[in-house]
Amino acid sequence: MAPLLFQTQTAAQILAPIPHSNRRLAPAPHAVGFLRALFPSRPPPAKAELLGLIADQRRGLDTQSDPSRLADIVSCIDALAASAPDADTVSDASKLSGTWRLLWTTEQEQLFIVRNAPTFRTAAGDVLQVIDVPGGSINNVITFPPSGAFVVNGTIEIRPPQRVNFRFTRAMLKGGNWEVPFPPFGKGWFDTVYLDDEIRVAKDIRGDYLVVERAPYSWNG
């Protein structure tokens, strides 16, 4: 008889349990994206509380004389930062770059100009921070509608996970068809302690805070 080309299995072999691996299978990348779209992450509760606390503060002018409100705002900022303490908020250029409009700050220089603009028969419009990560630039802008602006230009260096180093290189007061230069001043860093699709929260080298929202337009100077 010719030899068999296969071996028959015993009953014990047939009934033996299939071995299990201790490793967990990672979900496919497309499945992760689908689940994130289906169940988007909710913003931390401190975000809504922060926006409520700063809503009536005139970009920070009223907070200067209200230490209790300031403490509550800083507490909310700390809670936002703690909600994702290891988050990388600066490496994704598309998220950090853009025209950001001031909602609230403790920065004395910006608030001084906003407060005293009526002395010069004008009023401050939008206060902007324009970041271009691929271009390595930052522009701080205080607008005086319809055509005026105080503009400070600078360069930036990204230091993940949250830090941006900056150096200001030029400052000017601009009108419709005129420009008055000022000596550039300042260098340092700021940490973006919270970032989502709507707002960005930062703390800088001097301990000042900044809350900005993504503007519905792009500032091009």
Whether residue 174 contacts residue 149, with contact meaning beta carbons closer than 8 Å, is answered with yes
Start-end of H helices in the chain: 11-15, 29-38, 45-54, 67-83, 93-96, 108-116
**The pair of three-digit structure tokens given for residue 167, joined into one six-digit string:** 């150096």
- What is the model's pLDDT at position 31? 54
Q: Which residues contact 128 (CB under 8 A, 6 or more apart)?
A: 99, 100, 101, 102, 139, 140, 141, 142, 143, 215, 219
For every one of its 221 residues, what pLDDT tens digit does the chain have, with 9 covering 90 and above? Answer: 444 333 444 444 444 554 554 555 555 555 544 544 455 568 899 999 999 999 999 999 999 999 999 999 999 999 999 999 989 999 999 999 999 999 999 999 999 999 999 988 899 999 999 999 999 999 999 999 999 999 999 999 999 999 999 999 999 999 989 999 998 788 999 999 999 999 999 999 999 999 999 999 999 87
Domain residue limits, the chain: 45-214
Helices 67-83 and 45-54 cross at an angle (nearest 10°) of: 150
**The pair of three-digit structure tokens given for residue 88, joined into one six-digit string:** 């990388």
- What is the model's pLDDT at position 185? 80
- What is the model's pLDDT at position 184? 78
Instruction: Calculate ∠ Cα 161-163-169, nearest 5°.
Output: 145
- What is the model's pLDDT at position 174? 94
What fold characterizes domain 45-214?
Lipocalin (2.40.128)
Closest CA to 53 of 104, 115, 12: 104
Mind listing the pLDDT tens digit for each residue in 135-171? Answer: 999 999 999 999 999 999 999 999 999 999 999 999 9
Q: Is the pTM of this model over 0.95?
A: no
- What is the model's pLDDT at position 220? 87
